[in-house]
Amino acid sequence: MSAHVIGHGLDDLAATARAALVRGIDAGGAWDSDPVWREAFESVPRHLFVPYYYVGAEDGYERLWCADRDPRRRERWLRGAYADSPLATRVRDGELVSSSSQPSLMAKMLAELEVRDGNTVLEIGAGTGYNAALLAHRLGDERVTTIDLDPEITESARRHLAAAGHHPAVVTGDGARGCPENAPYDRVIVTCAVTSIPRPWLAQCTPGAHILAPIATGVIDLRVRDAEHAEGHFLLTPAYFVPLRGTGRPEPRPTADGGLPRRAIQQELFRFLLALTAGALDPHEALALWEREEQPERARYGITVSGEREWAWLDDPEGPYAWPLA
């Protein structure tokens, strides 16, 4: 799909909507640490990557489409493409399997990745290709690899990227195993939720690389020391992503909350702790920790990977509050 396909006077609306989206992200301070990302978001048209998407409806999902014959629905599709919200892009048997992330969260994660000119980046989870396009705009096509398990997803991402004028490496494969043929990487950004850090990612990184990955409704920012060691803190922002799929995917652990007080369950930060400690701490222990430490923010939590061990912690990796991950 190319920009002219929307037609019927919507080109100007696309430009206006994209500018409004960039202003909104800018106002939120998402890229204060690296304002070069603003130019990438201004230049890469998101609507090329979401020719259709699904919105919630009474009977499940309603599809909005760029080629809808109803001009009002086409305009609704275009405005939605530039809303600062996630978009469901692939649904199977009523289950969401792929989406385009909220742009302001994407901007925050890209800024936190701290890329430098000449860096190579591996993206786990190709999605629509939009995030890969932003990375390719910033670094150049030859320095970006994006991987996804589903050949339909990678094929559509490749088409979307080409329509936007970008041709990074788009690989069909198990993201949990990384992409060794294009390694080593200076940065790894993960756009699907995991429950622990697959070791191949560390092995494919350069010393000092960053790995940014969603875990337990948060995003961990790991600094890689070598193929067996990495450590880092969570970002402050909440994050909700479709789970990683593949043979190397760790099994999700249940987050039982039976018998916990409603006042705690309704707190988003407690639900984060409950997910992070699932299977390792009794939920009532987690509640006691949360209350004793005065409802700690995400940035106080971290993860350490050392050889075969991997654990999460509060404040100090060697402190009293630590528990194993899967």
Backbone angles phi, psi at 304, to 5 degrees: -125, 135
Neighbouring C-alpha atoms within 13 Å toward the C-beta of 248: 15
For helices 130-139 and 151-163, give the axis angle rounded to 10 degrees: 50
Where are the extended beta strands (E) located within the chain? 52-57, 60-65, 87-92, 95-100, 121-124, 144-148, 169-172, 185-190, 205-215, 218-226, 229-234, 301-306, 309-314, 322-324
Q: Are 40 and 109 in contact (CB under 8 A)?
A: no
100 is catalytic: no
What's 60's DSSP letter? E
- The set of residues, in sequence order, having a beta carbon less than 8 Å from that of 71 and lying 6+ positions away, is 8
| H or E element at residue 276 | helix 268-276
Q: How far apart are CA 102 and CA 232, in angstroms?
A: 24
Rounded distance between C-alpha atoms, residue 312 and residue 275, angstroms: 11
Helix (H) or strand (E) holding 129, with range, is none
Sign of CA dihedral 292, 298, 304, 310: positive
Whether omega before 184 lies within 30 degrees of 0, making that bond cis, reads yes
Choosing from 2, 43, 98, 156, the catalytic residue is 98
Measure Cα distances from 120 to 151, 188, 189 in Å: 23, 9, 11
| Active site positions, annotated | 98
